[in-house]
């Protein structure tokens, strides 16, 4: 497979060859669809995470994710309860349609930014986070967020 073309961005001069690994994303915390919403909230709070990945309990295949701010809104609106399983509130990854873009620790930050902007250079953020996996997509290694990228840029002079 040929390497992906690295897009140019307003922040490219600050990336200077940096990759997702340079963001130092924390290790992923993956739960299963049968885990309770209260377990997800407690786990996210303990680690200060905003997104948790959801995997199949047997195969560990990535099924989707939970956005903690969204989960809190669902709880406040009474649409879910703390004892409900995560399957009641999780966002499932689409298996069809748009091609899955693999984000690894070696992915250049220009490509990560392009992923967040959904391919529109300088456009609005369309994705809030990226699941970081190994290159064969067997293991979830972490989660990188738009905030991680913004903080990285703030720390690097132009």
Residue of 114, 97, 123, 99 lying closest to 149 (CA atoms): 114
Q: Look at strands 91-92 and 62-67 and give their pairing.
A: antiparallel
Domain ranges of the chain: 12-155
Which CATH number, 3.30.2350.10, 3.20.20.70, 3.10.580.10, 3.40.47.10, labels domain 12-155?
3.10.580.10
pLDDT digits (tens, 9 = 90+) for 91-118: 998 766 666 788 999 999 999 999 999 8
Is the pLDDT at 154 greater than 80? The verdict is: yes
pTM comes to 0.80
pLDDT classification of 26: cutoffs 50, 70, 90: confident
| Residue 1 pLDDT grade (very low, low, confident, very high; cuts 50, 70, 90) | very low
Average per-residue pLDDT for the chain: 88
């Amino acid at each position: 497979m040929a390497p992906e073309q690295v897009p140019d961005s307003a922040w490219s001069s600050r990336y200077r060859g940096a990759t997702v690994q340079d963001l130092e994303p924390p290790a992923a915390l993956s739960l299963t669809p049968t885990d309770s919403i209260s377990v997800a909230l407690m786990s996210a709070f303990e680690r200060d995470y905003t997104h948790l990945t959801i995997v199949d309990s047997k195969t560990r295949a990535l099924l989707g994710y939970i956005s903690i701010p969204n989960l809190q809104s669902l709880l406040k609106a009474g649409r879910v309860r703390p004892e409900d399983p995560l399957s009641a509130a999780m966002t499932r990854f689409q298996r069809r349609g748009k091609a899955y873009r693999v984000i690894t620790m070696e992915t250049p930050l220009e490509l990560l930014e392009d992923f967040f902007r959904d391919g529109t250079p300088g456009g609005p953020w369309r994705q809030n986070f990226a699941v970081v996996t190994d290159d064969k997509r067997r293991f979830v290694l972490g989660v990188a967020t738009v905030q991680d990228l913004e903080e990285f840029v703030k720390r690097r002079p132009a």
